[in-house]
Structure 1
C-alpha cells in the first residue's frame, strides 16, 4: 500500500539529509527515501545503464539519496547511529505500558543526536548577497565554538568546528558548522556527478564532452552559492588547504576523505593527534575525539595533509595527512572497519530487529563494494557490477523498486517503517513537551 499524504507532509523537512533542492529526502529513522518530483515509472523496470541514458536529473537525485542510505547502513559511523535507531523504535510498543516511560529517554537521545548531525539554523550565519566565488578566490578561517545544552547553557563537552567563508571582496560572509552532515552531503554530491557520468554512452565522445561541461557548470554554481555551504563546506575547505581548484577533483578527493572519516573506530579517534593549527582549542579537541566526531577528524586530516602534489596523487595526499595525525593508512582503516562490522553483536530482539539485522548485513556488502573501488561514489554501473542490495524508493507516494538491485524486499517493509517513523516522531514531540 502507498504511504499517506498526511504522513508524507508531517515528515517533510524533518529528515536529516534533504537533497539540495528539497525535491527528495532520506529518512534515517525509517531508512526510506521519498522522491517528490520523480515518479516510480522513471526508475522501476529499467534494467541497465542504457535504460537511464535520458534520465540525467532523476539518476542524480536517486543516487544522491541512495548514498545517504549507504552511509547509514555501510559505514562505522552510520551503523553506530542505526543501532541507536533500532534500540529506540521498540518504544512504540511501550508508549501505553506501565513502566514504559523508563525507556523514553531514548527518544530524547535520538532526537538530540539527529539535530546535531547538521545543527539548527541558529548556528549558521550569513552576511552579504554575493556569490562566494571559486574556492581559490575567496578565503576561509577555521573557528571553534560549543553547543548549547538542553537548558540553554554552553556545553564544553560538545565542541563545534565552524568554517568561515569570505567572498572575493570579504563583504560576503558565511559561518558554516562543520558537521557529520557536511561529510554526508559531500559523498552524496560526489555520487550525483559520478552517476550522471556513468549513464553517458561510453563510445559517444560528444555526449561525454557535453556531460563534462554540464557537470563543471553545475559544480561551479553549487560551490559559489552562499545558501548551500552545507553541501560545499568540505570541498571548499579541502581546496583551501590543498590548493586544488579543479571542481570535480575537489569533490572526489573530499568524498574519499569523508568516507575514511566515517569509518574511523574508537581506537583511531583516541590515537588521532590534530595538527598544530588546531591546538588553540585545547581540551575541546579531546572532547571531539571522545565524541567520535568524524567532522573533527576530517578537519584535522585535511589540514595536516597540506598542499596537494600530483606526484603523490590522491592516496598519497590522504595518507600523508593520516600519518601526520598518527593514524594508519587508509587501506588499513578500511580493513579494520570491515573486520569490526563482521564482529558486531546482533541487535536485541524486538519487532524491528529482523529488519535492522538485514540492513546491517546489506550494509556490510555495500561497504565492501565501495571500499574496493577507487572512490566511494555509488553509480548504476557499480551497483550492477557488485550486485548491490539497494533499497526501494517512494516515487511520490507509491513504492518502486530498482530492477538491478539484489535487495531482499521480504526483509524490509518500507511502508511499515515509514509509518513507524511517523509514529515515533509524534511520540517524541509529545514527550519533549514534558521535559523541554
Structure 2
C-alpha cells in the first residue's frame, strides 16, 4: 500500500458531526492530553536551552572556556533537572511511562504522538523561515486534537476499511470515540464511497469551536483525481482588491464590498458589553468563570455572532473565487502582505473585514485543483501608472495620486481613468510583460 505522501492527488474534507455527551468528554480528554504533552516538550526545550546558555556564559566569563568550574547547589539541581528532562523527551513513550493518566483507555495514543510531531515540526519551520518559536498552548473554549487513520493488513485503502472509516454517508467511525453522526458528504466523496474508488485517509482532526459546534477534517489521498479540470475559456483577467469595492476587474466589472463585520458591529458590541458586565460580577462575587452559568451563556452568544460573521465572509469568498477560476484561464492579482497592511490603524479593521489574504489563498488552490492559472505580481506602480501611455504619476514632476483620488486624468495623454479599473488593467499587463514606456512631451524652444 502506498504512503500518503506518494499519492498523486490530495484533497481535504470538512464535515460537521454531532457527538454524544460521553463522546464530548472523551474529546475534551484527548484535547487536554495533547495540550499537556505539547507544553511538556516546550517547557523541556526551554529548560535545556537556559541551562546550556548559563553554563556557556559561566565558562566564558571564567577565562577558561575548556574547564568547568564548581557549581552551586542550585546549579546542580538545574543540571539534574536538565538530565531528567532530556531523558523524558528522548523517546515518545517515556512521557506516557512517567504520567499514568496519559495511559487512560479513552485517550488516543496517536493524539499524543501527533502532539510530539507537531512540536518538532514547529521547530523545523522556525529554522526554515526564522520566526515562530513553539510557545505554550493555553486553555481555550475551542478544543482540537489530531489522530491518524491506520490500515492494518489491508492490500488497498478505501474510505471504509481503515481505523477512521465511513460506515455510510451519514456516519463515521473514529478511534476511541466510536461511531458519530455527520451532517452529510459532498457528492464527489459520496460517489467514491459508494463506488469503492481507492482513497486513503491520512490525518483526522477533531475540533470544537467556541460556539460549541464540532467539526471533523479529513486529509484524503488518491492516484485518481478528485475533481475534473474546468473547460478552457481563453479568457484572462486582472483584479484589483480595494476597500471602496471588494474588487474591480480589468473588464470594468465591480464587486461590492459586503462589510459583514461592520454591519454586525453594533449588535456585537452590545453583546460584548453584557459579557464584560457578567464577568465583573462573577469576579466580584468570587465565582469562577467556568462555573458562572450566566457568563457562559453570554460567552456562547458572542461566539455565535462571531461565527456567523466568519461563515458569511467565507461563503462570499468561496462563491466569488470559484466564479473567477471557472470563467477564466488566467487570473492575476497583486501580491498583498496583510501583516504590513494591518499596521495602518485607520484601515486595519476594514482590511481584516474584507479577508483579502483568504481570498488569494482560495484562488491559488482552486486554480491548481481545476487546471487553471493564478499568479500574483509586485503591486509597484500599478495604481500610479496610466495604462494607455505608460506615464507614472509621482515621477517626471507629476503629482502622486492619493487615496482620495478615485478618478483622474492623465496629464500626458489626457486619458480619463477610474482608479481601480486602471489598476486592474495594469496588473494584467504587468503579468504578461507588455508595459508600455511612458510618452514624454517634448518642450518647444
Larger Rg: 2
Query: Structures share a fold, TM > 0.5?
Result: no
Q: Greater helix share, 1 or 2?
A: 1
Structure 1-normalised TM-score? 0.24
Structure 2-normalised TM-score? 0.23
Q: Greater strand share, 1 or 2?
A: 2
